[in-house]
Amino acid sequence: MKRVYLAADLADAQIALDWLNMRGIRAHVFNTHATGGLGELAATQIWPEVWVEDDEDAEQAIQLLKEIHAAEDAGSKRCPQCGEENPGNFLSCWHCGQALA
- pLDDT value of residue 88: 79
Contact 39, 4 (CB under 8 A): no
Residues forming beta bridges with residue 76, ordered by sequence position:
87
Give the contacts of 98 (CB within 8 A, at least 6 positions apart): 79, 80, 81, 82, 92
User: In angstroms, rounded to a whole number, what is the distance separating the alpha carbons of residues 95 and 83?
Assistant: 9
Instruction: Assign domain 2-75 to its CATH architecture.
Output: 2-Layer Sandwich (3.30)
List, for residues 81-96, the tens digit of each pLDDT value: 999 998 877 889 999 9
Domain boundaries, the chain: 2-75
Q: Is 29 left (phi over 0), alpha (psi -120 to 50) or beta?
A: beta
Global pTM value: 0.65
Give me the mean pLDDT over the 62-66 stretch.
Answer: 92
CA angle 2, 67, 92 (to 5 degrees): 115
